[in-house]
Amino acid sequence: MQEREFRLFVGGEWIEPEGGRRFECVSPVDGSTWAMAPYASVQQIDLAVRLAREAFEVGEWSRALPSRRAELMRKLGSLIEQNVDELARIQVQENGKLIREVHGQTLALAKYCYYYAGLAETLHGDCIPLSMPDMLNYTVRVPVGVVAAITPWNSPLSLLMWKMAPALAAGNAMVVKPSEFTPISTLMLAELVEQAGFPPGVFNVVTGGADTGGALVDHQGINKIAFTGSTAVGKKIAEKAGSRLIRTTLELGGKSANIVFDDVNLEEAANGVLAGIFAAAGQTCLAGSRALVHKDVYDEFAKILVEKTERISIGDPQVMATEMGTVACRPQYNKVLAYIDIAREEGAKLLTGGKKPSFASEASLFVEPTIFGNVSNQMRIAQEEVFGPVLCLIPFESTDEAIQIANDTRFGLAAGVWTRDVKKAHKVASRLNAGTVWVNTYRKTNYASPFGGIKESGLGRENGPDTMKEYTEVKSIWVNYGEPIKDPFNPRA
């Protein structure tokens, strides 16, 4: 593929990075450089924020009619549908995720646009009954201002849309900084935003490295930060946001447990467990990286898992028949292999995988789907987020023990429960410390359902109607329709 040089999208214009500074976009499949992304300077980040502020205030985007915002959101959704093949292909080119998964995720972006277009037209406050005579009190929701969105490399457009759709629908302006490993898909989405007719400055994209994101977070013109990424970085962002008392939404790491009881169809549960960890090569915050299995079915379940895992088709993620692609970037690839070594050193039993496939070139970032058995929940491999295709099998004896093990982590993003017992399913789900719990399924999300974590898995929620509250402030308005104030020192008089 011929390299293409991209530009920054700032204030509705495509601008060259200062000094022509760019960085390589490298394919995780073969190590080739396929695009050159622009590296925004501090001055260009400042420009993006200032123009976003201007679009929000002077350009009156925040006061645009809800029907106008909804109209533009629907136009964007339609353009996404028209360009879904290319948007999906570019994301796979960037991070090695399966085209069979990414295509569906990309098509769903349009549904997010349509859903939040509807919410833009139905966002309302309340009329509050007061225990005071002749007073009308009502609330309205107003946008927070300029939103900084910092997105990861594992699902670049999906996790951007989780922020973008409600932020724009509510009337905010945005400056987006995508991961340096997956910047091109976001720049291509910006092309569609431009075609849809959003006012200049409402949506801006600045690309670069960690320093780019840091400069955006530090900018005094930002009113809210929406971040998806590691817990370590999320804590730093929260600290900086706290010092300025600005809002944050943080969707961070996980070490989610998939609990398999002894009353299930083991074949079906195995399919669910494998989908929860290997479908995206383990590179999802909600990955079910710990499989807690009842001791009475542990050996049989482990055997089924290994047999199914060793039949997984690994290869070119652009091919529909492929079932697992690559790790997205070299640093993450090295991290995954390091954790596999750590698991061995800790005494976990390698049941399958654990290395680069024999067919893979040195430049490629393929890692075999890996399962470790007889893992103790105190091991690092069970407590720390690997973010790769590595599954830990942990046996348990009782329901209480399963819940205790599942909750024994600093994370609290998601969990799965596999049982035919309806009472047990509800009981266990109610006691799991996780923002999302799936029963007899796994790794399902939808624009209408809230998603987010507790403990060190984050703050706030994305998706669902309540997300509009994350991007708005409540203004309380009082109207006196009775007698004028007679005593200025006694407002009740």
Query: Which active-site residues does the annotation give?
Result: 251, 285
- Considering only CA atoms, which of 124, 117, 171 is closest in space to residue 143? 171
Number of helical (H) and strand (E) elements in the chain, helices listed first: 15, 21
Is there a contact between 452 and 254 (Cβ–Cβ < 8 Å)? no
Helix (H) or strand (E) holding 389: none
Show the tokens assigned to 378: 């105190």
Cβ-Cβ contacts under 8 Å for 370 (sequence gap 6 or more): 340, 350, 352, 353, 354, 389, 390, 391
Chain Cα centroid distance, residue 282: 14
Is there a contact between 348 and 373 (Cβ–Cβ < 8 Å)? yes
What SS3 class is residue 139? Answer: strand
Torsion sign (Cα): 474, 480, 486, 492: negative
Rounded CA separation 72/68 (Å): 6
User: How do 247-251 and 458-459 pair as beta strands?
Assistant: antiparallel
Q: How far is CA 188 from each of CA 98, 173, 334, rounded to the nearest angstrom?
A: 19, 18, 29
